[in-house]
Amino acid sequence: MAEIKKINHVAIVVKDIDQALRFWQEELGLELHHIEDVPSQKSKVAFIPVGESEIELVQPTSDDSGMAAYLEKRGEGMHHLCVEVDDIDGMLERLKEKGVRLINETALELPGRKMAFVHPKSTNGVLVELYQLI
């Protein structure tokens, strides 16, 4: 049976990564691992390790992206919680069998990982990402 391994990351949508990084680095003393452009998601992401997990600051790079629409509608703040699973396909099947509303019925495959989102209407308002390293 598919299982959750850990919280992989918490994603926070921001207007300006450089400005947002000041709090995480200067006030909390966390170190930036790297910043990466993610053209497929029309975003730029700053990766900040915290123990075995990460905080990801996500800045939209295009006004026509889902992240930009989210930022416009809700403002800056937590976007989603990502849990790492050992078998994403098995987890999706399990959730479907239980009637959980999914944004992605099948996992999206990206370099080195598979991912899918669970709809916030099934999770008390929190967008949850399922994530499997491959």
CA-nearest of 4, 1, 2 to 129 is 4
Contacts of 19 (CB under 8 A, 6+ apart): none
| Total-model pTM | 0.91
What CATH number is given for 4-133 in this structure? 3.10.180.10
Helix or strand (DSSP H, E) at 36? strand 34-38
For 86-134, the pLDDT digits (tens) are 999 999 999 999 999 999 999 999 889 999 999 999 999 999 999 999 9
Task: For residue 7, name the pLDDT band (cuts at 50, 70, 90).
Answer: very high
The structure tokens listed for 19 are: 């400005």
